[in-house]
Structure 1
């Protein structure tokens, strides 16, 4: 096999830290900045959060293109440049005094997200290291699992000291100074290719259509659930009678549980990723059902949900890696990322409508239904895995 080299531990650590910076400067930014932006500008929070939905949508639409670029070139320079593009979006965001410019800034940010977040990074790692990429993916997600723990307090402190606009500029400078050289250091220049070889651009036959769409459905439902819970968890807990302080304390357990589940996965790294997938969707479903049926056990429900959601990021990278040839991995992952990211983009609108029309209980049971459906889809996928291996 061409991809026989193993990723260096220093490269894994570096890429994990880069992911914290990239996620913190894009996906998780508005969780802290939305309120001060709305207070200064007078823009509605619906439009402010809608800008993030636009960025996710742009990222989803560009995901297949990112996969093809990685398949052709290895993607080293594209990944390294993602922080530069996100920094450009942050600068425009800080300079925006009109809503339209603010939205354009998030379109640019969405381009950077398509270039450098988990999906393109995992695609590049699979392209470079083949099956050896699993250890790198697990290690990177373990480190980046501390993202919100580090980024949210840090961003809040910046906003308190400097204001949200100046904070955008500071974060942009940080991305410019660190992510490009760090990524170039951590990603091999050869992208795993032997000199003089020509990379084949894979086609749809590298993964059976049924398996492809099953994977798309599983990843999309998992992403939709994660996004809905991230946005509405505090509100759902308050609807169950918890105070704001209690709801925040309960939700704070998610980060440590996600990291903990990734540490456990390292101990079982020799197992097939389908079992990690079972644990992921199963724990998410059980956690949500416990919250719906027994709200007094909300802390337990979040421990279960957090553990399952922590495995989700690993599964996104490792399960396709076990089902496709290394040279096909980047293109397949890029195509699978599109429906998941589009699902994430429309989730705030859809679940906001469910909550407004039917209430908190219906919203929570809708999430439970999606989680149970996802367990069934993983069972269906497992039943088809032997045929998939014969086909490859």
Structure 2
């Protein structure tokens, strides 16, 4: 383990490369979907559902990524993610049949498992241990501008070149930028020899099962809520009486609030991440409750929700880092990513069904219930942490 945090130039590069990778994968369809549907005539459900397919593939492969990182292959895995996502984008550009379009998103899902937050945080934690917390906060702070930069950029490219050439342009940027940026930003011995094959396959003895599954539940609920809001927010605001232009303006508040909360977290980086987790899930639950009970205060609810959701990305990396050893961190991160990503994959279909069947009010109350449950789970985790950290875990399970 390296006994210092990554240099500032490395953090900046890693934040920028995350913007490029997220823009070519998770955030792509928000701008690309309608032009694709208009030209091809494919159904909206299939086009938007392709992202769910990519998330599902990413979730299934996340534990494998964790094992590769634990065995010292993290630097090459991250560097190769750009080429993999680029291959998917090239296939999208050449797609004149739906099956080929879906295959492209399977490949993009593989790239997402290789190179988005979960894999990057696992590499940083394996390399830098507790020194990775500042780097994770800095990277998420920079990448918090992703939608503000990517969506207008993609829209401008599509307006000038069309959606197919836009995919090729973004693929070229991934190929040119991602590999060299990762190779420069991360040390050449990124985790080499830290964990043997036998250790990787031994299971997860470093984290008690109760804590592991509690963490999985917390991260999965947080991811489900984030995905549901990303998909349904405009419709929920309109159902609360806001015009489309006003709903769009209110949703634009989320980005700056996410960045602001990450800046505040940098001030409190010496505190235990469990407190950041409390603030994250608490602000999300409070923002959703306020939107449900007092829709006229939607701006305040967006500020609260945006701040809480901004901390979510930091918590994903820093809370497990405070609970397991450096050697086990990548494996734990990979295993915890699977249920969260699968939950994200299923969320758009589930929330659309609830909204269509029961309406906006029930959808909001369901999200409030999930947010409140998550707050209770974090409280349970806070209560359990001392129990397991002081060696009483074995007695507690008898």
Counterpart for residue 171 of structure 1: 170
Rounded to whole Å, the distance in 1 between the matches of 2:4 and 2:273 is 21
How big is each residue's C-alpha offset from its partner over 1:311-363, in whole Å with a ceiling of 9 and x where there is no partner? 00000000000000010000000000000000000000100000000001111
Counterpart for residue 44 of structure 2: 45
How far residue 74 of structure 1 moved from its aligned partner, in angstroms, is 4.1
Once the two structures are superposed, the pairs formed by residues 70-219 of structure 1 within 5 Å of their partners are 70-193=69-192, 200-201=199-200, 203-219=203-219
Counterpart for residue 330 of structure 1: 330
Q: TM-score, normalised by structure 1?
A: 0.98
Counterpart for residue 347 of structure 1: 347
Counterpart for residue 319 of structure 1: 319
Rounded to whole Å, the distance in 2 between the matches of 1:350 and 1:141 is 28
How big is each residue's C-alpha offset from its partner over 1:75-132, in whole Å with a ceiling of 9 and x where there is no partner? 1001001010000000000100000000000000000000000000000100000110
How far residue 194 of structure 1 moved from its aligned partner, in angstroms, is 7.5
- The 1:257/1:101 distance shift into structure 2, 3 A limit, reads same
Q: Number of residue pairs matched? A: 390
Alignment partner of 1:370: what SS?
Answer: helix
Q: Which runs of 5+ in 1 are unaligned?
A: none
**Which 4+ stretches in 1 moved above 2 angstroms?**
192-195, 197-203
Rounded to whole Å, the distance in 2 between the matches of 1:190 and 1:316 is 25
Q: RMSD across aligned C-alpha pairs, in angstroms? A: 1.3
How big is each residue's C-alpha offset from its partner over 1:144-202, in whole Å with a ceiling of 9 and x where there is no partner? 0000000000000000001101100000001100011001101111114579x968436
Counterpart for residue 12 of structure 2: 13
Alignment partner of 1:206: what SS?
Answer: coil
Give the conservation status (yes or no) of the 8 Å contact 1:74–1:128: no
Rounded to whole Å, the distance in 2 between the matches of 1:132 and 1:388 is 23
Give the conservation status (yes or no) of the 8 Å contact 1:323–1:388: no
Rounded to whole Å, the distance in 2 between the matches of 1:328 and 1:7 is 20
Rounded to whole Å, the distance in 2 between the matches of 1:351 and 1:192 is 40
How far residue 6 of structure 1 moved from its aligned partner, in angstroms, is 2.1
Once the two structures are superposed, the pairs formed by residues 211-360 of structure 1 within 5 Å of their partners are 211-360=211-360
How far residue 389 of structure 1 moved from its aligned partner, in angstroms, is 1.6
How far residue 390 of structure 1 moved from its aligned partner, in angstroms, is 2.4
How far residue 232 of structure 1 moved from its aligned partner, in angstroms, is 0.4
Rounded to whole Å, the distance in 2 between the matches of 1:186 and 1:390 is 37
How far residue 388 of structure 1 moved from its aligned partner, in angstroms, is 2.4
Rounded to whole Å, the distance in 2 between the matches of 1:191 and 1:198 is 14
How far residue 383 of structure 1 moved from its aligned partner, in angstroms, is 0.2
Q: Which runs of 5+ in 2 are unaligned?
A: 394-398
Which moves more between the two structures, 165-174 or 72-81? 72-81
How big is each residue's C-alpha offset from its partner over 1:235-274, in whole Å with a ceiling of 9 and x where there is no partner? 0001111111000000000000000000000000000000
Alignment partner of 2:59: what SS?
Answer: helix
Give the conservation status (yes or no) of the 8 Å contact 1:74–1:127: no
Give the conservation status (yes or no) of the 8 Å contact 2:94–2:164: yes
Give the conservation status (yes or no) of the 8 Å contact 1:125–1:133: yes
Rounded to whole Å, the distance in 2 between the matches of 1:216 and 1:16 is 25
How far residue 44 of structure 1 moved from its aligned partner, in angstroms, is 1.1
How big is each residue's C-alpha offset from its partner over 1:188-232, in whole Å with a ceiling of 9 and x where there is no partner? 11114579x968436311100000000000000000000000010
Alignment partner of 2:269: what SS?
Answer: coil
Counterpart for residue 365 of structure 1: 365
